[in-house]
Structure formats: structure tokens, C-alpha cells
Amino acid sequence: MSLTLSNKNNANQNKEMLISIVKAMAESTTGKESTKHWANDALWFDIPPFASKGIQPAVKMFDSVFSNFKSCKVSFLEMDTIIADNMGIVCSIQKVDMVFKNDIAKTILVRQTDCFKKSDNNEWLLVHQHASIPSGGEWDGKIINQ
């Protein structure tokens, strides 16, 4: 009985850890902060259309994008976390309210999937991230369940 309870507590701790990492990445304002939990060979697909492998190209892109903002606030509308052994996936729908340096404000909805692997020293590292803005028409950010 205690083994089952211990496993459940560990799973909840892992889930909370992954959620906190994803939220911290969303609140970051520099490339270094955004990639703090990335594996060295992380694969990344993002907005604007961009793909990279490794941390340095992502740091450069994040810093370039963040330099255009006066402010940026991310709200999580939906979040689902799946953990199996040493792998974890966090799928989220994020509302991003941006104000650019020229005072133009914009709000977008983003779908993001963050894939993590637990390292040998028990640290969760992002190995793949994919973010996209849904194309074609309005979308309310809701996920349909059957």
C-alpha cells in the first residue's frame, strides 16, 4: 500500500515539476531563461516558422523576438500532462497578450507541446518543443473531448 502511495506522490511531484518548468519558460524574457531546462540537443519548432536543434539557435531567436516587446503576458487556458517512466509531455493552450515597443498590442492563442526526458541525475530536460498558432478562422482555445 505505501509503495502505491509513494508512486502516486512521486508522479504528482513530477507532474508539478513539469508544469512549473513550462510556466517558468512562458514567463521568461531572455533566451537564456527560456532554455534553462533544455537538453543540449533539444529539437524546437516554433513561431515564427523556425526550427532548430540545440540551445544556441533558440537562444538567439528568443532574444531577437523578446527584444521587440514592451510587455508580454502568458495565460494558460488549458494544460494536460502525461508522464510515463522517465518521459513527460505537457500540452498547453496559451493566450499571449503582447505589447510591442511601438505600442501596438496583439493577442494570440498558441498551442504548445513540451516533451521532457528525466536525466540520469533526476533532472527534467526539454528534448522537444513545438508551438503553433492555429490557422484559418477564429478559435476559442477550447479542446474538444469527444
Give the domain ranges of the chain: 2-132
54 vs 90: which has the higher pLDDT: 90
Q: What is the C-alpha separation between 89 and 115, in angstroms, rounded?
A: 5
pTM of the model: 0.86
Position 5 confidence tier, pLDDT thresholds 50, 70, 90: low
The answer to whether 116 and 125 have CB atoms below 8 angstroms apart is yes
Q: What is the C-alpha separation between 118 and 13, in angstroms, rounded?
A: 13
- The pLDDT, as a whole number, for residue 68 is 95
Q: 36-59 pLDDT, tens per residue?
A: 999 999 999 887 777 889 999 989
- The pLDDT, as a whole number, for residue 1 is 45
Q: What is the C-alpha separation between 56 and 74, in angstroms, rounded?
A: 23
Average pLDDT over residues 77-88: 94
Q: Which amino acid is at 131?
A: A
Question: Positive or negative CA dihedral for 103, 112, 65, 32?
Answer: positive
Q: Which amino acid is at 108?
A: I
Give the residue from 116, 132, 131, 120 showing the smallest Cα distance to 38. 116
The CATH number assigned to the domain with range 2-132 reads 3.10.450.50
* Residue 81: CA count within 13 A, CB half-sphere: 17
Beta bridge partners of 51: 45
- The pLDDT, as a whole number, for residue 26 is 93
- In the chain, the percentage of residues whose pLDDT exceeds 70 is 90
Position 133 confidence tier, pLDDT thresholds 50, 70, 90: confident
Q: What is the C-alpha separation between 139 and 7, in angstroms, rounded?
A: 38
